[in-house]
């Protein structure tokens, strides 16, 4: 027992004192060994030393404890003072909105504002976030709330901590108490907005038909015309405090600050209409294509983006503006007919380039769009003969076809040459290689080709198309013959054959396919026909096309005719002049039936545009037609489709017939509201 007490007493001593005591014991023992008489005095001396050490050690501990206590009180006082006199508005609330305490700064900051509603809203939001993260004991409020709060004329960032209330403190369960700091971010946000608004956007403006106009007006009128166009451009840009620089005869570079982009969107680029009002010889109209990019790390990147966008504008027929914003393309204008190009230089250049590409390739694979029609197939047959003429192995890929096209393909396959030349998906994937030249006709959309996988198998891609360019275009093509003025892909292919350096001799079925493609897309030479269209038809006529035989390709059987009659009979009229009808029966050839029904609806007086919706099974198809007053391409483009002003189509997935119909009506109303605004 005494040993335990001694151990406890000894343990209370600090470590340094223990060392000293051990040293003293050793010295005293040594002294006693030397002189025995010193044993008793040594023991008494050591006891006195031990008692003194114990007393001084306790005294130090008391003093240290008092010092720590004083320091703690000082720190607590400083913390309380900091809390009360915080430079930021501070409030302690419960998540049910009950305010426990407010700092003087908080009271002063929100003296003229009813802050309670904001606090209740913050409390509710905080509670929801905490319950989502209830597996964590503690979480920073700044991590929970990812938004800034606007109170009065100022914007605040709210940060803080929370603790869960004990049940005895709160009758309700799952209530929390939070300490919130309100940090004024108004100035920072203002500076950020000022920086964002002052960022430069780069654009390109191009006069669409400059060459054609210059060729048709007299020399003395040319300076006056260009002066009018440029004055309108300079005046328009001056409204936005922008800068415009003339880089070529028909091209301008535009620099404008970000803050004016919203105004441009709101006004919908009125400069497009102002330029069209400049009439030459009472017939010709000048039109503009405008591309503005807000995206890019540097002004050079923005300029390169604008260059790509101007190609899209021209590929869609010109007379429109495109704005690149938030990763999306926004289109304005584009409601006038495409302007036919008079020069044939491009057709000759493309024909020569295509011959060289074919000569260098291992083989040629030709592909049209899904749910192929006679225009895609006729163009494919023409390119096939082009390739065979220069001695290349060629294949035509075809997976899907409508009723009339199926008849055409079966007729072609009766000829020995085409039995193994028209192939399906699996055969095409087996034939293609990095050295294959892939030629895509009658479409430029990645998602609309017959076999999309083929695009990934080769970098040698050629595009021949006449549809207005969409944002889903194939970007990695090495040669593009994309002319929206053309009536059809067959017209473009006929020009390439006509201007080829080699003498391309078309077979009867190939000639008929090309002629039929032109007839189909022009509705028997009624819509979208230019001088070049008739020249292409005349060339095919010289090649020996049998017009009567071609006419038979478009004949409908009695069953199909009755379907079309029922569709027309059930049509509804919206917006006074637009006919809409549906073909509910699931039919793989719905797209062709709907196209014919849409054409038939246009023969009814007072109908200026028609839309027919059909059921393909997995997809819903829409065929749109107009006489030119209404741009059906702009309407169906918003549903993922495309085409031309007078002829367009779309295919929609994941929606029912009724949902597609309602969405179509909404888009039609939107189209008219944009025109009127």
Say which CATH architecture domain 345-553 belongs to. Answer: Alpha-Beta Complex (3.90)
As a CATH number, domain 90-192 is: 3.30.450
Q: Which pLDDT belongs to residue 170? A: 45
pLDDT band at 111 (very low <50, low <70, confident <90, very high): confident
Q: Which residues of 485-520 are buried (b: 16+ CB within 10 A; e: fewer)?
A: bbbbbbbbbbbbbbbbeeebebbebbbbbbbbbbbb
Instruction: Give the tens place of pLDDT for each residue, 648-666.
Output: 888 888 888 899 999 999 9
Instruction: Give the tens place of pLDDT for each residue, 300-357.
Output: 999 988 888 887 777 666 788 888 888 788 888 765 555 555 456 678 888 888 888 8
145 vs 582, residue with greater confidence:
582
Q: Which pLDDT belongs to residue 334? A: 65
Question: Residue 34: phi, psi to the nearest 5?
Answer: -75, -40
The CB density around residue 153, as the number of other CB atoms within 10 Å, is 7
The domain 203-333 is placed in CATH, from the list 3.40.718.10, 3.30.70.270, 2.40.30.10, 1.25.40.10, at 3.30.70.270
| Least confident window among 158-172, 491-505, 530-544, 557-571 | 158-172
Q: In the predicted model, is pLDDT for residue 400 greater than 70?
A: no
Tell whether the torsion through CA atoms of 340, 345, 350 and 351 is positive or negative: positive
Give the strand pairing for 642-643 and 251-257: unpaired
pLDDT band at 140 (very low <50, low <70, confident <90, very high): very low
Q: In the predicted model, is pLDDT for residue 9 greater than 50?
A: no
Q: Which pLDDT belongs to residue 210? A: 83
Q: In the predicted model, is pLDDT for residue 272 greater than 50?
A: yes
Q: Which pLDDT belongs to residue 133? A: 66
Instruction: Give the tens place of pLDDT for each residue, 402-454.
Output: 556 777 888 888 888 888 888 888 999 999 999 999 999 998 888 888 898 99
Task: List the one residue out of 480, 469, 515 whose CA is nearest residue 346.
Answer: 480
User: What value does the mean pLDDT of the chain take?
Assistant: 80
Q: In the predicted model, is pLDDT for residue 252 greater than 90?
A: yes
Q: What is the pTM of this model?
A: 0.57
Q: What is the rounded CA–CA span in Å between residue 483 and residue 311?
A: 11
Q: In the predicted model, is pLDDT for residue 168 greater than 60?
A: no
| Least confident window among 88-92, 120-124, 456-460, 467-471 | 467-471
For the chain, the domains span 2-80, 90-192, 203-333, 345-553, 558-676
**The token pair that represents 651 in the structure block:** 């295919």
Say which CATH architecture domain 558-676 belongs to. Answer: Roll (3.10)
């Amino acid at each position: 027992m005494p040993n335990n007490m001694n151990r406890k007493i000894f343990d209370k001593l600090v470590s340094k004192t223990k060392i000293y005591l051990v040293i003293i014991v050793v010295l005293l023992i040594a002294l006693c060994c030397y002189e025995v008489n010193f044993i008793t005095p040594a023991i008494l001396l050591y006891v006195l030393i031990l008692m003194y050490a114990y007393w001084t050690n306790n005294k130090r501990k008391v003093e240290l404890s008092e010092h720590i206590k004083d320091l703690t009180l000082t720190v607590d006082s400083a913390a309380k003072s900091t809390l009360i006199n915080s430079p930021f508005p501070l409030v302690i609330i419960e998540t049910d909105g009950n305010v426990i305490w407010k700092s003087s700064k908080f009271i002063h900051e929100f003296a003229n504002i009813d802050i309670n509603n904001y606090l209740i809203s913050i409390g509710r939001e905080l509670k929801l976030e905490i319950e989502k993260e209830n597996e964590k004991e503690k979480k920073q409020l700044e991590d929970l709330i990812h938004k800034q709060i606007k109170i009065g004329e100022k914007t605040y960032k709210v940060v803080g901590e929370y603790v869960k209330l004990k049940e005895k403190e709160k009758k309700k369960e799952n209530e929390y108490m939070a300490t919130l700091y309100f940090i004024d971010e108004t100035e920072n946000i203002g500076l950020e907005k000022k920086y964002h608004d002052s960022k430069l956007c780069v654009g390109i403006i191009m006069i669409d038909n400059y060459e054609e106009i210059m060729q048709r007006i007299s020399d003395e009128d040319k300076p006056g015309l260009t002066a009018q166009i440029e004055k309108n451009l300079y005046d328009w840009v001056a409204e936005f405090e922008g800068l415009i620089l003339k880089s070529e005869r028909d091209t301008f570079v535009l620099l404008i600050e970000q803050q004016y982009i919203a105004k441009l969107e709101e006004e919908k680029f009125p400069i497009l209409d102002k330029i069209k009002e400049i009439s030459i010889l009472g017939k010709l109209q000048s039109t503009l294509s405008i591309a503005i990019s807000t995206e890019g790390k540097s002004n050079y990147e923005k300029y390169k983006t604008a260059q790509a966008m101007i190609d899209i504008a021209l590929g869609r027929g010109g007379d429109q503006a495109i704005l690149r914003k938030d990763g999306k393309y926004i289109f304005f204008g584009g409601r006038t007919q495409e302007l036919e190009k008079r020069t044939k230089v491009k057709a000759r250049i493309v024909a020569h380039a295509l011959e060289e590409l074919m000569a260098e390739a291992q083989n040629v694979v030709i592909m049209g769009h899904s749910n192929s029609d006679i225009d895609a197939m006729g163009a494919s047959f023409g390119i096939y003969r082009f390739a065979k003429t220069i001695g290349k192995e060629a294949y035509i890929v075809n997976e899907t076809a409508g009723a009339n096209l199926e008849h055409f393909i079966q007729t072609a396959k009766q000829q020995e040459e085409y039995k193994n030349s028209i192939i399906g998906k699996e055969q095409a994937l087996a034939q293609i290689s990095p050295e294959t030249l892939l030629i895509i006709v009658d479409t430029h959309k990645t998602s609309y080709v017959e076999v999309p996988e083929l695009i990934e198998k080769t970098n040698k891609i050629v595009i021949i198309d006449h549809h207005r360019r969409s944002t889903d275009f194939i970007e990695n093509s090495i040669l593009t013959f994309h002319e929206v003025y053309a009536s059809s892909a067959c017209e473009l292919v006929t020009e390439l054959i006509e201007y080829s350096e080699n003498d391309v001799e078309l077979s009867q079925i190939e000639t008929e396919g090309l002629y039929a493609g032109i007839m189909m897309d022009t509705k028997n030479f009624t819509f979208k026909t230019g001088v070049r269209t008739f020249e292409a038809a005349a060339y095919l006529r010289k090649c020996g096309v049998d017009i009567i035989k071609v006419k038979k390709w478009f004949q409908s059987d009695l069953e199909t005719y009755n379907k079309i009659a029922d569709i027309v009979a059930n049509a509804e009229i919206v917006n006074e002049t637009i006919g809409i009808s549906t073909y509910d029966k699931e039919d793989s050839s719905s797209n062709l039936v709907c196209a014919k029904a849409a054409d038939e609806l246009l023969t009814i007086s007072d109908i200026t545009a028609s839309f027919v919706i059909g059921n393909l099974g997995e997809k819903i198809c829409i065929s749109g037609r107009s006489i030119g007053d209404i741009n059906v391409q702009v309407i169906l483009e918003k549903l993922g489709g495309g085409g031309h002003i007078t002829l367009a189509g779309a295919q929609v997935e994941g929606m029912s017939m009724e949902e597609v119909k309602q969405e179509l009506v909404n888009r039609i109303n939107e189209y008219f509201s944009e025109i009127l605004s």
